Amino acid sequence: MLRINEHYLKLQASYLFSDIAKRVTAFQAAHPEREVIKLGIGDVTQPLPPACIAAFHQAVDEMATAGGFRGYGPEQGYDFLRQAIAEHDFQARGADIQADEVFVSDGAKCDTGNIQELFATDAKIAIPDPVYPVYLDTNVMAGRTGAFRDGRYEGIVYLESTRANNYVPDLPREPVDLIYLCFPNNPTGSTITKEQLQVWVDFARDAKALILFDAAYEAFIRNPELPHSIYEIKGAREVAIEFRSYSKSAGFTGTRCAYTVVPKECTAYDAAGSRQAIHPLWNRRHCTKFNGVSYPVQRAAEAVHSPEGKAQCTALIDGYLANAKIIRQAMAELGYHTIGGDNAPYVWIEAKGDSWAFFDLLLNKAGVVCTPGAGFGRCGQGYIRLSAFNSEANVVKAMGRIREALG
């Protein structure tokens, strides 16, 4: 008799964004005449940068010739892209990352979900609350948690991110092995200083723990004092793996390209207590279960790092940040506490009540879709997330409707 992995049965019945989609679909069916403006999920809305499109076209044309055709590429990514990443994203900021420590993939979501396969199932996990659901759900699937009770899974150490700590969690008060951090944060939009991040790195080194650092939104940082990478912090190469994505920085949500950095000094321990390098383990997992990102997509990603690509991506992000400023100012004027929106594309808003009730209010009275904070964890209850990923015209219209609905 074939048995299922029963850890899947511990997962909550519906995924946050599918729940949202169902409610929006029902609303549109009941009110077909109403225009809905979506400021919910973090999908970009603007076209790919011209430099990326030009590189994409050129690579496709190469594939149409006998001399330029390419079949399977290196699973870790082509050297031209890995070199560009190491040089422009890390070495230019003083972070000692080499090209062979970069692993190109089809998404940071996939990598943050897959990385946990490398570690023992009895590892103690520390996860922020509120949090991007993938970190938690993939560990539930792997069997690292107990049952779901009172809004949380048994066996997980929750790192509460609240208004009291400015949405940067405090260090755990019990031993942990694996720590998830995300800055600029999804969903709160909060950021972390170098001094605060140094505390986490020092903690991980003392505890023989590992930090999984999600920096998917680092391109939105405009404060020059804030770190873009955990590898700007002393000692991080030994205790941190970093995830990056072209999805939000260059609009690649539909094109699919990201990368994970695993420094060669980064280690974990075997049952005998001996240090084991993580780099060859991830390389083996990557080569066994992944066939690489297509050549044209990697050429398009390489163009992000060109002078033209950098300027075009900066302009895209500046436009989204301008939208975020409109959202934050409007909600603040209505008397709501907000954070984010200055170094991140998300604005985290205290809803003065139940998250889903506020979601329904905005949908039914304003025709605007937000993301209920409760879907990100217990500490998200009473909050909503508004996303800047839309056109300026739609954002202005949406905030006008919200003013009218809440005024």
Closest CA to 257 of 91, 109, 132: 109
Cross-strand bridge partners of residue 350: 383
3-state secondary structure of 100: helix
Q: 54-113, pLDDT tens digit by residue? A: 999 999 999 999 999 999 999 999 999 999 999 999 999 999 999 999 999 999 999 999
CA distances from 48 to 2, 197, 243 (A): 46, 32, 21
Q: 193-250, pLDDT tens digit by residue? A: 999 999 999 999 999 999 999 999 999 999 999 999 999 999 999 999 999 999 999 9
Residue bearing tokens 């390419």: 70
Whether the CB-CB separation of 131 and 385 falls below 8 Å is answered with: no
Secondary structure of the chain: what % helix, strand, coil (to 5)?
45, 15, 40
Average pLDDT over residues 345-365: 97
268/274 Cα distance (integer angstroms): 8
Closest CA to 369 of 132, 44, 41, 14: 41
305/81 Cα distance (integer angstroms): 9
Question: Residue 256: which pLDDT band, with cuts at 50, 70 and 90?
Answer: very high
310: left (phi over 0), alpha (psi -120 to 50) or beta: alpha
Mean pLDDT of all residues in the chain? 96
Closest CA to 106 of 212, 299, 254: 254
318: left (phi over 0), alpha (psi -120 to 50) or beta: alpha
Question: Residue 13: which pLDDT band, with cuts at 50, 70 and 90?
Answer: low
pLDDT at position 22, please?
A: 92
Q: Please report, for the chain, the start and end positions of each structural domain, with discontinuous segments joined by +.
A: 6-47+308-406, 53-306
26/340 Cα distance (integer angstroms): 30
pLDDT at position 266, please?
A: 98
5/133 Cα distance (integer angstroms): 20
The DSSP code sequence of 225-258 is TS-SSGGGSTTHHHHEEEEEEHHHHH-TTTT--E
Question: Residue 167: which pLDDT band, with cuts at 50, 70 and 90?
Answer: very high
Q: 144-166, pLDDT tens digit by residue? A: 999 999 889 999 999 999 999 99
pLDDT at position 14 over 70: no
**Omega before 184 cis (within 30°)?**
yes
pLDDT at position 41, please?
A: 79
3-state secondary structure of 126: strand
Residue 278: is it exposed, middle or buried by C-beta count within 10 angstroms (0-12/13-18/19+)? buried
Give the contacts of 278 (CB within 8 A, at least 6 positions apart).
118, 210, 241, 262, 266, 267, 268
181/229 Cα distance (integer angstroms): 12
pLDDT at position 176 over 90: yes
Q: How much of the chain exceeds pLDDT 70, in percent?
A: 99
The tokens describing 184, both together, are 């600029």
Average pLDDT over residues 347-366: 97
Q: Could you tell me which CATH number the domain at 53-306 has?
A: 3.40.640.10
107/245 Cα distance (integer angstroms): 6
CATH number, domain 6-47+308-406, options 3.90.1150.10, 3.40.30.10, 3.40.50.2300, 3.40.640.10: 3.90.1150.10
Question: Residue 169: which pLDDT band, with cuts at 50, 70 and 90?
Answer: very high
Whether the CB-CB separation of 329 and 335 falls below 8 Å is answered with: no
